[in-house]
Structure 1
Amino acid sequence: MIAVVIRRGVRLGVRIGAVPAGLAASLWLGVAVAQFLMKPHALPGFSRLAIMVGGSLGVGVLVGAITGAALVLSPEWLAGRTSLRGLLAGIVAGTTYLGETVVVAMASDGGYGPMLLTLLSTPVVSVVAAVHSGDILRRTRRKSAC
């Protein structure tokens, strides 16, 4: 039971991590190609691309696994109430997603713009996790996407 719920959480986490990974891949790939055309002997853009894509997917998996584990290990009185379950999932996912800021800082050499954008996207991840908390625990009546 625990492994199944964590697997559903990881599925949601991969979807959460795929959004910044896809955006970063498209942006950094353009930068890397431009750098390669200007200086064919230096390829720093591809290492940043790997850090960003791999790190974002890793953070997404971590967000999903920790959120799923928190939901499955929560007491029944908390998991049974939609608002409390969503609040727990949102807080856990939002806190764990702050690791994405570290990934962005490493990939962008501490650029303030990308880090601020990542911090501003944290509430979105919290809301997504809160909305899908019932899907992770299979406590909804509708067919889930997870």
Structure 2
Amino acid sequence: MTGQGALGRGVRVGLLMAGVPAIPWAALALGIAAVEFLRGGDHDFAARDLRYAGLLTGGTLVAGVLMGSILCGGLVLASRAVTRAWGLSLVGALLGALVFPAVFVVVAVGTDAAYAPLVLTFLAWPVMTLVAAAHSADIVGLTRRHAWLTARLGTRAPVA
């Protein structure tokens, strides 16, 4: 077992965990800003929604990298004592549950604490905890079940 490339795999999982619940709200804010701008009404509303879309997108990226780094660091440290995949899954679930509030904060700030986005993000919390648990052994390098985590960026498949 090696920790080689674990940070990259952890950040990919962190971006997935942060992006799934938050990016749809950024896309919605961008769409609303476009409608308000094209409608020709008050451009202050369009500027506000563009700001929300930027906050949601940038905040999601920052939260995803932070979450993935913490997840990776905790799993690499735990992999020294835990060698079974199910043990790493438990550690990954615990870490995933602990770092997910970062996304909740991003959605709260980017939507002015609107109820629907906050409730749906809260409901995504256990699902993203399971995502962290499912990918824990792959992050550390114990298994290679998920090819998208181990694929190198910028490489092409050979042409037959």
Q: TM-score range by the shorter chain?
A: 0.7 to 0.9
- Rounded to whole Å, the distance in 1 between the matches of 2:29 and 2:146 is 37
Map residues 101-140 of structure 1 onto 2, 5 A cutoff.
Answer: 101-140=104-143
Given candidates 66, 70, 75, the residue that maps to 2:70 is: 66
Deviation at 1:143, TM superposition (A): 6.0
Q: Hey, what does 1:10 align to over in structure 2?
A: 11
- Kindly report the root-mean-square deviation, in angstroms, between the aligned alpha carbons of the 2 structures: 2.0
Secondary structure at 1:115 match in 2:
helix
Deviation at 1:3, TM superposition (A): 6.8
| Code of the aligned partner of 1:97 | F
Q: Hey, what does 1:52 align to over in structure 2?
A: 56
Assess, with a 3 A threshold, how the Cα gap between structure 1 residues 51 and 76 changes in structure 2: closer, same or farther: same
Can you give the 5+ residue segments of structure 1 that lack an aligned partner in the other structure? Answer: none
Assess, with a 3 A threshold, how the Cα gap between structure 1 residues 26 and 32 changes in structure 2: closer, same or farther: same
Q: Hey, what does 1:89 align to over in structure 2?
A: 92
- TM-score, normalising length from structure 1? 0.87
- Structure having the higher helix fraction is 1
Q: How many residues align?
A: 145
Identity of aligned residues (%): 34
Assess, with a 3 A threshold, how the Cα gap between structure 1 residues 83 and 20 changes in structure 2: closer, same or farther: same
- Rounded to whole Å, the distance in 2 between the matches of 1:41 and 1:112 is 23
Deviation at 1:128, TM superposition (A): 0.7
Assess, with a 3 A threshold, how the Cα gap between structure 1 residues 50 and 89 changes in structure 2: closer, same or farther: same
Can you give the 5+ residue segments of structure 2 that lack an aligned partner in the other structure? Answer: 150-160
Bigger radius of gyration among the two: 2
Q: Is the 8 A contact 2:93 2:132 kept in 1?
A: yes
CA displacement, residues 42-90 of structure 1 (integer Å, 9 cap, x when unaligned) = 5111000001111112111111110100011115332x12222101111
- Rounded to whole Å, the distance in 2 between the matches of 1:59 and 1:21 is 10
Q: Hey, what does 1:99 align to over in structure 2?
A: 102
